Amino acid sequence: MASSLPDDIVNVTISSLLNLVGVKPGDYDDRDEATKAIYLSIQLGLLQRQSRQMRAPLDHELAAQHLPAMTQKYIDDPEVIGKVATLINSITYTPYFARFVKTDAGKHFVPIQTKRIAQLTDEDASKLTQDQVAEVGQFYATLLLLQGQDEISEDDRKAAISRLTKWQRASSGTFAEETLERCLAALGGDKGEMGMMIQGAKMMLQAPLKSAEEPIFSS
C-alpha cells in the first residue's frame, strides 16, 4: 500500500483533513471513501505522534472555525463512527469543543450518538474492529461527560446500554473495555470509584473554558 500513497500524505493541514472527511473540496476528491478513510487514519496518526503542544494550534483552529460544518456532516452521516466522527473525536479535548456542545448548533451529539449505538444491529456491530469499538466508546464517553443524558429517550438509553454491555463482555482486558466502562458508568449514574473518575475527567475537560477566548465557529 505504501507505494500507492500520495507524496503529500505527510503534509497534514486543516484543508487536507476537511477534504478527507468530505467537508470541503480538495486534492482527494477523486479517491473512494475507503481510501479516504485510510488516508485520514494516516494523517491523524501522524498528528498523534506529535506532542499535544505541537499539534494544539491545528486542533484549536480546526475546532474554533470548522465545528459547525463538521457537525452538519456528522448529522448527515449515519455511521456509528464515520470519518467525520473520527476527526471530531480527535479535537474533543479543546475548549472550543466543550463550549460548542453547549450551543444550539452542537447540543444534539449525545442523542444522535446514543440512537446510532442503540439501533446498531448485531450484524453491523460484528463488522467493527476492536479499535473502532474503542473509538466509539471514547467518543461517546466524552460526549456524555460534556452533555449529560437528559436529551436521551429511555428506550434509546436501555438499548445503548445493552449494546455497550455486549461490547464490553467481548473486549475484556482491552482499551475498548475501559472506554465502554466509562460510557456505562455515565449512563448508569455510577457514584463509586468510576463515577469519581468520570467527574474528575469532566472537570479537566471543562477547566480550559474559563480562560479560552471566544470561539469563532465559522466555516
Nearest to 66 by CA among 35, 91, 36: 91
> Who wins on pLDDT, 207 or 127?
127
Lowest model confidence (mean pLDDT) among 68-82, 122-136, 193-207: 193-207
Q: What is the pLDDT of residues 21-30, one digit of tens each?
A: 999 999 999 9
Q: What is the pLDDT of residues 72-104, one digit of tens each?
A: 999 999 999 999 999 999 999 999 999 999 999
**Which residues, 6+ apart, have CB-to-CB distance to 210 below 8 Å?**
none
Q: What is the pTM of this model?
A: 0.86
Place of cell 480550559: 208
Task: Specify the pLDDT at position 32.
Answer: 96
Task: Specify the pLDDT at position 153.
Answer: 96
Q: What is the pLDDT of residues 97-114, one digit of tens each?
A: 999 999 999 999 999 999
Nearest to 117 by CA among 159, 149, 155: 159
Q: What is the pLDDT of residues 25-47, one digit of tens each?
A: 999 999 999 999 999 999 999 99
Task: Specify the pLDDT at position 4.
Answer: 80
Residues 6 and 25: their CA atoms lie apart, in Å, by 17
Specify whether the CB–CB gap between 36 and 68 falls below 8 A: no
Task: Specify the pLDDT at position 190.
Answer: 57
